[in-house]
Structure 1
Amino acid sequence: MFMLTNPVFISILIMLGLCILRFNVFLAVLVSSLIAGLMSYNFDSNFLVAISSSMTALKDIMNTFIKGMSGNLQTSLSYVLVGALAVAVSRTNLTAFLVNFISKKMSDKKVLLLFSLAIISSFSQNLIPIHVAFIPILIPPMLSLFNKLKIDRRAIACAVTFGLTTPYMTLPVGFGLIFQDIITQSLNANGVNITQSDVAGVVWLMFFIMFFGLLASFIYYRKPRAYKELETKYENLDEVKFGKKEAMVMIGLLITLTTQIFVGSLPLSALLGFLFICVSGGIEYKKIDEVFLGGFSLMGYVAFIMLIACGFGAVLQGTGAIKEIVDFTLSITTNKLAITFGMMCIGLLITLGIGSSFGTVPIIATLFVPICTELGFSPESIIFIIACAGAVGDTGSPASEATLGITVGLNADKQSDHIKDVCIPTFIFYNIPLVVGGALIAYYL
């Protein structure tokens, strides 16, 4: 019963409960952090003395929280700069050219079209790191084509989700570089000394799980599904022109990708790419503020979620209650496979609540690394557990940027449901395989 008084256990339950109740995620993490810290303090039995000391305790907890936030400063800066790039791309006709090409070349190739959507979505995580910003530009103009081919939009949701999540899970480029840096920093902070190349050498195994889910979804949703053909008002894609702005933004993206590969710093590469776009005329000088603020609006909230998640992890470590959870877990079972499966499920619950796998990693690393170390898991296995347990839940979470973005695109004609047509299909075909397959792979690493 001691788990009912454990600060770490209780605070995570509260955070999950608040997220499930659709309470603001930012505030949910902050409140849970304060509760975890307060529960670890021993207060005087005198009421007035306890009130006074509680204010001092809250100040100490907040200082620990703020200090811990520094662990994700690079990640947050990367998100803001990449957001600016995404807005810059959205101001050009680059994606319109892509839509036009797909519509003409694949107008009668249903399966190839779905695979193409998965590949194009993958580019949004690395080659052109604009994340979900491309969906409102790419998907709505193609709804008529989808309707003509009677493609089940649940298959489209699974295809786009594959592209939005698999690259960052498995490739050390773009958002994948951010994800792998977070894993590296989180494990080093919890006593597992690794490098980013160690992470890259393991996480690619998740590709096979995700690809299995993609194929399974295509097979399951292969039957034609009719939708009403509603009048849509989109620009004539045949009249879209490729001008100076498009050329300069494309060069800026190439600079971003090249610098990232050779230097290994996404904040630096995104900054250089964005500066080139500004100087070369890819963005009008008077609109630079507007574009940058648009990027901050797009990605800034997620950037701050990254920061406070790291602060939450620091507070949990400061409570000293993690060892109790480790001891309790080992008292139940020492079966590695069972414990690995349990960690995957916990990661799933946390990410479903927060809606961000990037924010989940610092939290679960604080919890899981001591358990893995005590049981003698290899560094490779620990890396994979943290990566997979962090990633699982990003697909299928009602609060995830991926599912929300896809719904915006598919529901442009009001014929798609966020939960039934996006969250449930992606949960089934990606989260379940990741929990089961991830536990098995981690066990044998």
Structure 2
Amino acid sequence: MNAIVLAIVLMVMLCLLKIPVAIALISSALLGALHSGLSMSEAVDTFNDNLLMGAQVGVTYIMIGAFAVAIARSGLVDLLAYKIASQLDLNVGATNKGVKWMLLLALVAASIMSQNLVPVHIAFIPILIPPLLGVMNKLRMDRRGIACILACSMSASYLLLPTGFGAIYLNEILLANVNSVGQAYGMSATAGMVLEAMVLPVMGILLGMLVAVFYTYRKPRSYQDALSTTLQTEKPLKPLNFKQIIFTVAALVVALICQLQFDSLLIGAMIGFMILSAAGIFRWSDQDDVFTEGLRMMAQIAVIITFASGFSGILNATNEIAPLVSATADFIGDNMVLGAALMLVVGLFITIGFGDSFASVPILAPIYVPLAITLGFSPVATIALLGAAAALGDAGSPASTITLGATAGLNADGQHDHISDSVIPTFIHANFGMLIFAWVAALML
């Protein structure tokens, strides 16, 4: 068996058996490395050498968590939750459909803006979701559906809208790799082709989200109200003063500007935290407590991202990604229909292991672009195949920041399991529709 296949299958199986994701990543990576012929010492060294990149991202998310807690101390998010809760009809038999759909649309809008207009990625989830859990509990909303809304909206946003993270994925990574590899084969692509190529795959993601909302998770689901998420609608919260509003908004704006200026979420979040602290949004003596609370909130994400970096490093070190794709190409022959399907499935499989579509494009491009050209696919179809193949599995991987972010927010009261409530629902609803629609796009374009 190919070592890549073995490692990813083992990782998925261990996660489904409720083994902690971090342990599943380490053990499956080491077993895959041993199967490929690496010694244990080589496998451990490779794993350790690749932890640095993940640790850098992990530290960033810890700082984002601290910034999120600092913003929560301002009272703005609690005020939003109170305003929504005050619209609820608490009488027996009340459906509150208007409040429910208002909340769902707000989550879709926040998810889209988090990738493009205000590119903070998953940072908005631990800020926005926990204060709203009481409202969701009252509405008996199935949090698995909420996880699908967050994952599908964020994925669709960066895969189609060419600003923020979308500009990075579509132009700086996808288009650049297609043109770099395709140059030797006389193929070139434009930004317009990228948007044309990704429309149908994104429609597949959005269809999956609609299925989750209107069919799979439409039935009410009950949760216990934790003390921190209990609705309090009898009396309003303490009014916010002008200073709180001005400095909180200023912190958000300055954090965004610094993030864009220095291309660093870490710097943006740190400066935003410092502004809120200096403005007295929370007591100066509480700085350590606020930071520690943010660390606890994002610790699982930081650890898993760090170990996922070691896992992906071992996948590369086995040198068996190329043989896996080459074996797929040999099986395909000159069958375009089969070729498109298998290229997408293999891409899905590899991205589940890496947990990051941005990292998967440079790995797949040197093999997928020549293969697509050989099979006779057009430049637009080639972009659709590569762009979708690398994105499949991003939502739905146990190590993906999207699923980890959804869990961080929805599990604030300990009632949302990462694997069964985030990973499996988002894998099914974000990937199946995208795979089918991307396959159709490759054959039509």
AA in 2 matched with 1:235: Q
Matches within 5 A, 1:83-162: 83-103=65-85, 109=98, 111-122=101-112, 127=118, 129=120, 130-133=123-126, 134-144=128-138, 146=139, 158-162=148-152
Matches within 5 A, 1:165-314: 165-167=155-157, 205=199, 207-220=202-215, 233-236=230-233, 238-243=236-241, 244-245=243-244, 247-314=246-313
Question: How far apart in 2 are the matches of 1:78 and 1:230?
Answer: 31
Shift of residue 382, structure 1, vs aligned partner: 6.1
Root-mean-square deviation (CA, aligned residues, Å) is 4.7
Question: How far apart in 1 are the matches of 2:248 and 2:209?
Answer: 32
Structure-1 residue corresponding to 2:26:
30
Structure-2 residue corresponding to 1:389:
392
Map Cα deviations across residues 221-249 of structure 1 (whole Å, 9 max, x no partner).
79886979999843346233214445433
**Residue 318 in structure 1 maps to residue 320 in structure 2:** no
**Residue 401 in structure 1 maps to residue 404 in structure 2:** yes
CA contact (8 A) 1:344 1:388 kept: no
CA contact (8 A) 2:258 2:268 kept: yes
Q: Which has the higher contact order (CA 8 A, sep 6+)?
A: 2
Aligned-residue sequence identity (percent) comes to 25
SS in 1 for 2:281: coil
Shift of residue 345, structure 1, vs aligned partner: 3.8
Name stretches of at least 5 consecutive residues in structure 2 with no aligned partner: 89-95, 184-189
TM superposition score normalised by structure 2: 0.71
Moved more, 105-114 or 12-21: 105-114
Shift of residue 98, structure 1, vs aligned partner: 1.4
Map Cα deviations across residues 107-145 of structure 1 (whole Å, 9 max, x no partner).
66254443234224555667494343132211313543x
**Residue 59 in structure 1 maps to residue 41 in structure 2:** yes
TM superposition score normalised by structure 1: 0.71
Map Cα deviations across residues 322-364 of structure 1 (whole Å, 9 max, x no partner).
3322321111104455344335445556777x7x943x76468
**Residue 341 in structure 1 maps to residue 341 in structure 2:** yes
SS in 2 for 1:258: helix
Shift of residue 262, structure 1, vs aligned partner: 4.3
AA in 2 matched with 1:279: A
Shift of residue 39, structure 1, vs aligned partner: 3.1
Name stretches of at least 5 consecutive residues in structure 1 with no aligned partner: 42-53
Question: How far apart in 1 are the matches of 2:317 and 2:419?
Answer: 38
SS in 1 for 2:50: helix
